[in-house]
Structure 1
Amino acid sequence: MSPKSATAAGADPRPSPPHQTFDGWSADRARLPMHAPDRTASFEPSAVASTVDPRTHRETFVVLNDFFDPTQYHFELDAKDQLVATERVARATMTLEGHPGVFAPKFEAVSALPDGRFLATTPFNRPEVETHRIFTFGYAEGRHAVAREVAFDRPAFEGFIRARSGQPWFQVEGLAVDAAARHAFFGVRFTGESREGAKQPTVTLVRCPFDGAALGTPTSAVTLSTVKALGRQEGLADLQRDPRDGSYLLLTSFEGADVTALGNNQGHLFRLPAELVEHATSDTPLELPAPLASFEGKPEGVTALKDGRLLVIFDDDREWKDNFKGYARRQAMFAVLDAQGQPVPPRP
């Protein structure tokens, strides 16, 4: 199915987006070191983490864009619960410590650390070195920030995941840390032959010790199944710890073969007990319970707000956005939910 387009005259026949939208970048945005020129006109957020701006003391969301974009974007919910760019520092360009050249990471997931920094990962799914790195960085209080590489044994990390799946290729899309950030939990979305070849969606959590600067080799893992809960296996889209009760928020999503089809993208939100994420092991996939929430679109990031509500952001394909009126490629969707996963309507 091809995206519908607006008629030259009369009302736009396309439906409205299934969730609220926000502007992902402004007109004066600098040119980014991306690998595909058409991506400079598209905002595809892949990760979000909640923090507090140290100067304004307001809750702020650090958002990362997933196509080789070194920008740290800052958003907040306004009085009407609309997601808007912060006034003080809306975005900051990050450089990599010790590397004066172009920094072009493909960020897939981010988690806030107790000391105010952030831990972010790339997907490990492409040949470029930029996609096989892990970073820490601080909250940008100006237009520039510095990222630092996390030391880790890449062959051991990748070898552990390949040995567990029995497949030569995998894709990471989630990253969470425990309360003290002594352990990092990587979420694997796909395993298979290659990025272009046969692959299967999965929800596999890989546990690694973390000391704030270096990552230890994986110690254990657990695989979860959405088949009983959803009738199909979806892939992991994000994993975040909820500091309110220590549970973990798990996003999964489904992508069909036709990126232009209205029904191509769906997703779900689950809440997992800490024991399951941090310690459980099993030789066979463990079935997930019923989800808290279901979405139209491709949810890509989730974070818990200080008041207990949840924020979900979407990374929809450019062509899929064209199916809807009022959904520009430079925008993205978001949803605000209560702690039980029920939608919170916008405030008047």
Structure 2
Amino acid sequence: MIRAKVLSHGTVHCFPAGLRDERDRLVNAEVSAVVYDGSRLILASDKPVPGRSPVFAVDIDEGGIPDDTTLTYFTAETIVRATKYEDFALTADGKHILATTGFDRIDDASHDLNAYNHLLIWPLGEPERVQVVDPDPRDGVEGSLELRAKLDAAIGTPYYKIEGLAAIPGEHGDGLLMFGVREQGNAHDDFDYVCRMVGAHYRITSDGNLEFIDELRSLYAFDPSAHAGVNHTCGLSSLEYDPYNASLYLLTSFETEDEDIARIGGYLWVVSLQDLAAEREPQLVCDEQGEVLVFEHKAEGLAVLDETRLFVAYDNDRHLGLGSIDERDERHACEAPFTLLAMSQ
């Protein structure tokens, strides 16, 4: 049994309080991606942050708590332009950061929605050197549109949404890059929640970009509802490779209505790389008492800090309640809630 102990909860300020958009609405922090680069957390909101950037970094103290006084925005034009960030990953060798958007919309008649279709890469600590992975071969067309065509073929449905990204060591090239699929179906209003991964082997080119060396294909899938203790329909919300324990963490989250009461939350899973390759079921993580760990917030981002500690970031959309993680009833719109966990067997 894999158990998780809550070390701490809190919130991190993602931008100044009271920040408003062009319609004079309060900007809401919706952190959907996080990765630890060895010295600081890099986080991203799946909504734009006017005048700044949806991607930013904060230092953490020895206890793993983020220090938002150290907040630094990543302002490279390519990073700011991409829209709806959903997950980060380190390359398998730990030398580059990868960032994916949702790939959940495209306009076949124009390039107006290309911002939603990006896989980005930059060297660790050098976000100004960001590059677009697998772009359209035509000059001046932004977005990972060649990659989108490959995702179309691998996933096989007209509509899908990417919410997970992880790179693990592979038998070919520099590693195996996996995309986590949360939704798939005929359209944005006609889909099923899924927990599925597609991917391909990759290598890093001499100019620091990423190229695929075989075809994207289905790699892994599981049904959370088949596991005792999972009482909500949920979809995959994050992937995170754990190099210390040769395993992969998976987050699933849910947003449902029960008797007109909105419910949000999530579950944490882990699978060894050996079991992943054999397509065996993941293990559902439990709390200290041996009961299924159920997050009371919508778990969307996951970062491995070291051999035992995990950082979980929540994207509650516009729900401001803090529940048990803070003595306050509500967070400020500029704050994102988080939980720090210690894992054990």
- Residue 39 of structure 1, CA deviation: 7.0
Structure 2 CA distance for partners of 1:299 and 1:46, relative to 1, 3 Å: same
Structure 2 CA distance for partners of 1:67 and 1:38, relative to 1, 3 Å: farther
Correspondences of 1:1-348 after superposition (within 5 Å): 19-26=9-16, 37=23, 41-52=27-38, 59-68=39-48, 70-78=53-61, 81-85=64-68, 87=70, 90-96=72-78, 103-113=81-91, 114-127=93-106, 128-140=113-125, 145-151=128-134, 152-162=146-156, 167-179=157-169, 181-195=174-188, 197-212=189-204, 213-215=210-212, 216-229=214-227, 230-257=230-257, 261=261, 264-277=263-276, 279-281=277-279, 287-292=281-286, 293-321=293-321, 325-340=329-344
Structure 2 CA distance for partners of 1:268 and 1:73, relative to 1, 3 Å: same
The share of aligned pairs that are identical, in percent, is 24
Structure 2 CA distance for partners of 1:306 and 1:39, relative to 1, 3 Å: farther
CA contact (8 A) 1:189 1:235 kept: yes
Superposed CA deviations along residues 288-316 of structure 1, whole A, max 9, x for unmatched, are: 43334320010011111125211100011
Superposed CA deviations along residues 24-79 of structure 1, whole A, max 9, x for unmatched, are: 223597x8xx8x85676211111111113xxxxxx211111111454431123335
TM, length-normalised to structure 2: 0.76
Structure 2 CA distance for partners of 1:112 and 1:40, relative to 1, 3 Å: farther
Letter in 2 for 1:111: A
- Residue 139 of structure 1, CA deviation: 4.3
CA contact (8 A) 1:109 1:175 kept: yes
Superposed CA deviations along residues 246-276 of structure 1, whole A, max 9, x for unmatched, are: 1011100111149x95x51110111111134
- Residue 326 of structure 1, CA deviation: 3.8
Superposed CA deviations along residues 83-112 of structure 1, whole A, max 9, x for unmatched, are: 22263x622212229xxxx72332111101
Superposed CA deviations along residues 214-245 of structure 1, whole A, max 9, x for unmatched, are: 23431332211111221444200101111111
Root-mean-square deviation (Å): 3.0
Counterpart-to-counterpart distance in 1, 2:11 and 2:69: 16
Structure 2 CA distance for partners of 1:307 and 1:37, relative to 1, 3 Å: farther
Structure 2 CA distance for partners of 1:222 and 1:307, relative to 1, 3 Å: closer
User: What secondary structure is seen at the aligned counterpart in 1 of 2:274?
Assistant: helix
CA contact (8 A) 2:30 2:46 kept: yes
Counterpart-to-counterpart distance in 1, 2:97 and 2:177: 12
Structure 2 CA distance for partners of 1:138 and 1:257, relative to 1, 3 Å: farther
Q: 5+ residue gaps in structure 1?
A: 1-17, 53-58, 342-348
User: What secondary structure is seen at the aligned counterpart in 2 of 1:93?
Assistant: coil
CA contact (8 A) 2:268 2:284 kept: no
Match of 1:13 in 2: none
Structure 2 CA distance for partners of 1:275 and 1:326, relative to 1, 3 Å: same
- Whichever structure has more strand as a proportion of its residues is 2
Counterpart-to-counterpart distance in 1, 2:319 and 2:234: 21
Counterpart-to-counterpart distance in 1, 2:69 and 2:246: 28
Q: 5+ residue gaps in structure 2?
A: 1-7, 107-112, 135-145, 205-209, 287-292
TM, length-normalised to structure 1: 0.75
Match of 1:7 in 2: none
CA contact (8 A) 2:321 2:330 kept: no
Superposed CA deviations along residues 126-181 of structure 1, whole A, max 9, x for unmatched, are: 1211112211023456xx7242111144323212202xxxx321111000001365
Give the count of matched residue pairs. Answer: 295
Counterpart-to-counterpart distance in 2, 1:198 and 1:74: 36
